[in-house]
């Protein structure tokens, strides 16, 4: 310690060393077991669920049982437009004030619409959690739907759908519409004529019908449960209780490049096998493999991308709903003859790695809590899911694929098919169906021979 000219002392101890005479506190260690999931159900049916994960940040989300499966011809497109209008003007705040508050606290806000559920989320520092919670609930429960703002977001949505990078999203949308007749076939990406019919009053009517107390789950990670309930209850208990709307029942059909597996997320074992199967198939783009960790040894890489020059991109995918799901099937006929132990273990390790890394994020944990309680009414821990993944056997894969391949194929295509590099890359529907029907006894998928 040095003395300055004016007689005051100056500390010269490096920051890497403890101060003389000061006993440093032992740093706290995170718990060895994950924090418990705590749930409180308000009298009107709103569920408040949280995990007190350690760390300086928190993640909050409001999850709603509402989406395009609940839409009708009169309000088709509401879910997509509600996503665009998320965190816009409320009855208490103009949009500018909302943006200023988000910037002040450094929050991250996201609104998302899907076929079955909608989510509104905020990631923030724990110190700003009370203000972030009040902002989140105000935006979800009290949207203003100002006429000019609605028209602006309709124009923005039309511009996004007209972009050059929308092709992959449109393909998934077209496949889902082709696979399902009924509620699950309702368009999530709205048609222009549907958007023209949506007005502020249509949006208010849709929200009043579907954003009801039993349809809402407030989920959080990184906050104290008691404090969360104390702050949220006054803002949520005023919502009227109501009987939950019945989930629309889909009429099922299937398609080539994606097969339906009945059960969806509610068939937990089937969903686990689907996860392993998806990583076993793998795939990607022909110009960038990226190494073994990105699936270079998966089946779609080794048996499609590395063998057929006209294939630019080939990857497995899944689109899973509560009661049903679609899984991509390119090159799947070979899987009926079984898998070897090495590729199955590699696929299982890839799936476990992705899940464990994802659950390190509080935002993912909060989303996991909210969506699981909407789907199952309970929480399946990450540890349980990993144990189920590790228990998948070669026979589970074989039986699951047989279930997928027991249905009638159809085909969806997008883009100009008159100028393809190789005619094999875009066959006619009848040709695909004929080859597929003739392949049930073959070991290789004839579409890529």
pLDDT of 1 above 70:
no
Mean pLDDT, rounded, for 302-319: 62
Q: Which of 242, 177, 254 is nearest to 215 (CA)?
A: 242
- Looking only at the bridges linking them, the beta strands covering 251-252 and 180-181 are antiparallel
pLDDT band per the 50, 70, 90 thresholds, residue 254 = very low
Architecture of domain 254-448: 2-Layer Sandwich (3.30)
pLDDT of 233 above 90:
yes
pLDDT band per the 50, 70, 90 thresholds, residue 108 = very high
pLDDT of 169 above 70:
yes
Distances, alpha carbon 310 to alpha carbons 168, 302, 304, 435, in Å: 18, 15, 10, 19
Query: Could you give the CA distance from residue 206 to residue 198 in angstroms, rounded to a whole number?
Result: 10
Give CA 181 to chain center in angstroms: 23
Mean pLDDT, rounded, for 319-327: 56
Report which secondary-structure segment, H or E, holds 157: helix 147-161
Query: Could you give the CA distance from residue 429 to residue 334 in angstroms, rounded to a whole number?
Result: 21
| Span(s) in the chain for CATH 3.30.830.10 | 38-236, 254-448
pLDDT of 404 above 80:
no
- The CATH number of the structural domain formed by 38-236 is 3.30.830.10
Write the pLDDT tens digit of every residue in 28-59. Answer: 666 667 788 999 999 999 999 999 988 899 99
Radius of gyration of the chain (CA): 26
Per-residue burial over 49-63, b = 16 or more CB atoms within 10 Å of its CB, e = otherwise: bbbbbeeebbbbbbb
Mean pLDDT, rounded, for 427-441: 57
Report which secondary-structure segment, H or E, holds 135: helix 129-141
Half-sphere exposure of 384 (CA within 13 A, CB side): 6
């Amino acid at each position: 310690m040095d003395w300055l000219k004016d007689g005051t002392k100056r500390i010269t101890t490096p920051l890497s060393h403890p101060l003389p005479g000061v006993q440093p506190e032992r740093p706290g260690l995170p718990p060895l077991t994950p924090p418990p999931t705590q749930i409180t159900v308000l009298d009107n049916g709103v569920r408040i669920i949280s995990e007190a994960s350690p760390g300086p940040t928190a993640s909050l989300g409001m999850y709603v049982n509402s989406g395009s499966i609940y839409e009708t011809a009169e309000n088709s497109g509401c879910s997509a437009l509600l996503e665009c209008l998320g965190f816009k003007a409320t009855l208490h705040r103009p949009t500018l004030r909302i943006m200023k508050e988000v910037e002040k606290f450094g929050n991250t806000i996201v609104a998302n619409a899907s076929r079955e559920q909608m989510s509104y989320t905020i990631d923030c520092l724990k110190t700003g959690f009370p203000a972030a919670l009040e902002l989140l609930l105000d935006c979800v429960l009290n949207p203003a739907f100002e006429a000019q703002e609605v028209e602006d977001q309709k124009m923005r949505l039309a511009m996004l759908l007209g972009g050059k990078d929308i092709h992959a999203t449109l393909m998934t949308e077209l496949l889902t519409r082709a696979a399902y007749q009924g509620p699950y076939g309702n368009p999530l990406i709205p048609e222009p004529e549907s958007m023209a019919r949506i007005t502020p009053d249509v949006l208010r009517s849709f929200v009043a019908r579907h954003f009801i107390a039993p349809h809402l789950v407030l989920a959080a990670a990184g906050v104290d449960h008691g404090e969360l309930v104390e702050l949220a209850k006054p803002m949520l208990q005023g919502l009227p209780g109501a009987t939950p709307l019945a989930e629309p029942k889909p009429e099922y059909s299937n398609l080539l490049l994606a097969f339906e597996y009945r059960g969806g997320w509610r068939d937990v074992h089937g969903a686990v096998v689907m996860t392993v199967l998806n990583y076993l198939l793998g795939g990607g783009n022909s110009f960038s493999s990226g190494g073994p960790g990105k699936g270079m040894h998966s089946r779609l890489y080794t048996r499609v991308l590395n063998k057929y020059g006209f294939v630019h991109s080939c990857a497995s995918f899944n689109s899973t709903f509560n009661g049903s799901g679609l899984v991509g099937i390119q090159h799947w006929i070979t899987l009926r003859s079984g898998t070897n132990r090495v590729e199955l273990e590699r696929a299982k390790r890839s799936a476990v790695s992705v899940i464990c890394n994802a659950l390190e994020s509080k935002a993912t944990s909060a989303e996991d809590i909210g969506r699981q309680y909407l789907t199952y009414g309970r929480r399946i821990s990450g540890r349980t899911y990993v144990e189920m993944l590790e228990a998948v056997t070669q026979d589970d894969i074989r039986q699951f694929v047989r279930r997928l391949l027991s249905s009638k194929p159809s085909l969806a295509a997008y883009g100009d098919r008159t100028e393809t590099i190789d005619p094999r890359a875009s066959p006619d529907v009848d040709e695909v169906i004929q080859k597929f029907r003739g392949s049930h006894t073959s070991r290789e998928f004839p579409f890529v021979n």
